[in-house]
Amino acid sequence: MRLKFVPPLMPTLVDRPPEGDGWIHEVKFDGYRSQIVIDDGNVRIFTRRGLDWTAKYRDLVEIAKGLNVQNAIIDGEIIVLNDAGVSDFAELRKAITRRQHDLYFVAFDLLHLNGHDLRDISLEDRREVLQAMIPAGERIQFSEALPGTGAAVFHLVEQAGLEGVVSKRKDSKYRSGPSTNWLKAKCYTIDEYELLGVEREPGKPAFALMAERGTGRYIGSAFITLNREMRERLWKRVQEHAGTAPKGMKRPATQWVKPGLIGRVKHLRGEQDLRHASLQNFREEEGT
């Protein structure tokens, strides 16, 4: 019987990795969650939602055909690395269309192998089998567990500029859908964005609406955590730079500003738009 796509197990977002000996900790890669399905030499690659993207990953399909298995379902992430050796989501889309040779598949779980459904055996045992079947030095790689406590691993990953850590219970079975057996802790980063306006409603927190510099694309709001003196300075600047709403944006409680104010925003690393974001500081753009 032909193997089918299995909806993936989805980790729960937490602030910090768990502690204790019952967990393994892996790097959270910044790419596309994907699934390789091998059936008697036939290879298909699916997206996280089950779309068949085999045609988009021609090189990885050929490499997967070289694995010494009859049939298998492998859970992992498709990534591309930047010059620093860190997975780079922004470059991934370009690589899919123009640089297939730069794509890697990082394998972290094995759901099926040679007629055996492995989802009911422990994660530790599944990963041991997976590691043994993936040759070193290829563009299908095994996701190594990082040694050390959750706190130590998270600190190292943060310092290295990586997206975060995924912690997994060693004894857990594989179950599709949201799960607390896998926990993801994301690192924060600070970037500068253009301030579009400030949203203020009585009795509610104030938010800064931010856009990408250069493109003006709205990417989300940041909670204003400034101290009193800086908040008053911000309100003054917003009033002095009062502008009109960008095309297509209707937010009645927002005071819009003209281009020229830049905000420093702390936010979760590895997201296309701002998540868990806070405004740390602001300045006027040079030349305005």
Q: Which residues are catalytic?
A: 28
The residue whose two tokens read 């989805």 is: 10
Distance CA 47, CA 5 (A): 9
Question: What is the longest distance spanned by two Cα atoms in the chain?
Answer: 69
Distance CA 77, CA 30 (A): 8
Distance CA 153, CA 160 (A): 11
Residues 93-98: contacts with CB within 8 Å, 24+ apart?
96/56, 96/57
Pairing of strands 103-113, 42-47: unpaired
Distance CA 229, CA 201 (A): 20
